[in-house]
Structure 1
Amino acid sequence: MHFLSPLLENYLADNSQEEPSLLQELTRETHLKVIQPRMLTGHFQGRVLSLLSKIISPKYILEIGTYTGYSALCLAEGLRTDGELHTIDVNAELEQIQRTYFDRSQYGSQIIQHIGNALDIIPNLDVTFDLVFIDAEKKQYDYYLEKVLPKTKSGSIILSDNVLWSGKVVEPLDPKDTATKVLLDYNKKLSQHPLLETVLLPIRDGLTLSRVK
């Protein structure tokens, strides 16, 4: 399902902050060398992440799902000078391209990569996060949330990506479609969670913004 026409999507991008040249290069390399390049955050949503991070001014950011590093670089734009961004991905094959672009940015020394299962890694991070971005295996979203909440504080922001799942969340549910069922349950949980204030934004494939009370 396309929520907006390509013409309107281009208009949104054209009338938002320009995409940094380093991210343009990363986009091109991802499309040339990596499978499923549509997983990239992209220009418009990337500028949304950047601006949200700048508004929050986080000292500590956690990203679950690095892919080639585009969203991490966007989030890092709002980091305090003494801050850290911890990003986790299960795919070790992408580690080098991530590191290359992280080190080419001004945030290289502040971005810490973790390779492995986020559910195992998160409990061992001795950090309280101001900003969390969840964008990994959809079937694990609820588990990520439960691992992340103890690592946040009142006022922390949790962003959840792809929560509209190409519009499948409003279509008749295929009993075999476990990913959509998980996201339906997750979206309801976020909206009703006693520790969270939540709004679901129709940005790209759906971006939920939750504030820890």
Structure 2
Amino acid sequence: MTESDRLEEYILRHTSPESPIRERLWREAHVRLLRARMLSGHLQGNLLQMLCRLTRARRALEIGTYTGYAAHCLAEVLGEGGEVHTIESDDEMEDFIHEFLDGAPYADRVHLYLGDALEILPKLLEEHTFDLVYIDANKREYLDYYELIVPHLPSGALILADNTLWDGKVIEEPTPTDPQTKSILAFNEHVQRDPRVENLILPLRDGLSLIYKK
């Protein structure tokens, strides 16, 4: 075990535990899914919950449901009357998502949409006001999501964008055949120059950007 692994193990031992549903979901995802490392996980999930509490968010938007792990994190702490609206492009994940969501004590707070986020978002943003947004979907569309969302957010809303360090590739020259890295670089630069927001990149896992709407 490397020093980094030992340190992460220590951090997790001294972080509030996952709920039983999240723990079971994480375990089953790693047994049954090929890309299980994509789910948020214990540490990042707890950070989502902490930020949700600190901002007193009541309505959250998630782009990129995947297993539903992050949606569980948010729904657990939103409380009665809170809502999570989550969009997933891969309809093959629907059964897995519902397997762990259905029957959860907060299932009625989670609204799942299957399809293209760029097609679903306009109507969703017209109908709802969101306090917190979590983006963890197609990296090539991050900037498109961002520009759709920001004009609809109230002052004080928080956007969280995952994978913004992109395995360290952001400090390398992207190759012509690497559109994901190019898109993450463009997104990071755009956010940095946007006068509507304040931003901070945390070196957590693969990079998590905290973007505050002024």
Fold similarity call, TM over 0.5: yes
Instruction: Compute the displacement of 1:114 (Å).
Output: 0.1
**Letter matched to residue 102 of structure 2:** D
Structure 2 portions without partners, runs of 5+ = none
Alignment of 1:185 onto 2:186: yes
Q: Contact 1:56–1:78 (CA<8 Å) still a contact in 2? A: no
Q: Contact 1:65–1:135 (CA<8 Å) still a contact in 2? A: yes
**Divergent runs of 4+, >3 A:** none
Instruction: Compute the displacement of 1:78 (Å).
Output: 2.7
Taking the aligned partners of 2:79 and 2:131, their CA distance within structure 1 comes to: 11
TM-score (norm 2): 0.94
The farther-off stretch of 107-116 and 72-81 is 72-81
Give the corresponding residue for 1:143. Answer: 144
Taking the aligned partners of 2:103 and 2:168, their CA distance within structure 1 comes to: 36
Q: Contact 1:53–1:77 (CA<8 Å) still a contact in 2? A: no
Taking the aligned partners of 1:78 and 1:145, their CA distance within structure 2 comes to: 25
Instruction: Compute the displacement of 1:178 (Å).
Output: 1.3
Taking the aligned partners of 1:30 and 1:177, their CA distance within structure 2 comes to: 27
Tell me the alpha carbon deviations over residues 32-72 of structure 1, each in whole angstroms, 9 at most, x when there is no partner.
22221111111111111111111122121100000010011
Q: Contact 1:57–1:80 (CA<8 Å) still a contact in 2? A: no
Give the corresponding residue for 1:167. Answer: 168
Give 3-state SS (helix, strand or coil) of 1:158's partner.
Answer: strand
CA change 1:101–1:30 in 2 (3 A) is: same
User: Structure 2 matches for 1:34-73, cutoff 5 A?
Assistant: 34-73=33-72
> How many correspondences in the alignment?
210
Taking the aligned partners of 2:162 and 2:145, their CA distance within structure 1 comes to: 12
Give the corresponding residue for 1:31. Answer: 30
Give the corresponding residue for 1:208. Answer: 209
User: Structure 2 matches for 1:87-126, cutoff 5 A?
Assistant: 87-125=86-124, 126=127
The farther-off stretch of 203-212 and 170-179 is 170-179
**Letter matched to residue 54 of structure 1:** R
Taking the aligned partners of 1:46 and 1:100, their CA distance within structure 2 comes to: 19
Instruction: Compute the displacement of 1:80 (Å).
Output: 3.8
Identity within the alignment, %: 42
**Letter matched to residue 166 of structure 2:** W
The farther-off stretch of 127-136 and 23-32 is 23-32
Tell me the alpha carbon deviations over residues 187-212 of structure 1, each in whole angstroms, 9 at most, x when there is no partner.
11112211111111111110000111
The farther-off stretch of 161-170 and 31-40 is 31-40
Tell me the alpha carbon deviations over residues 91-142 of structure 1, each in whole angstroms, 9 at most, x when there is no partner.
1111122122222322100100000000000101110100000000001000
Taking the aligned partners of 1:104 and 1:53, their CA distance within structure 2 comes to: 23
Taking the aligned partners of 1:142 and 1:166, their CA distance within structure 2 comes to: 19
Structure 1 portions without partners, runs of 5+ = none
Taking the aligned partners of 2:91 and 2:134, their CA distance within structure 1 comes to: 20
Alignment of 1:86 onto 2:67: no
The farther-off stretch of 30-39 and 132-141 is 30-39
Tell me the alpha carbon deviations over residues 153-203 of structure 1, each in whole angstroms, 9 at most, x when there is no partner.
111100000000011111232222111111111111112211111111111
TM-score (norm 1): 0.94
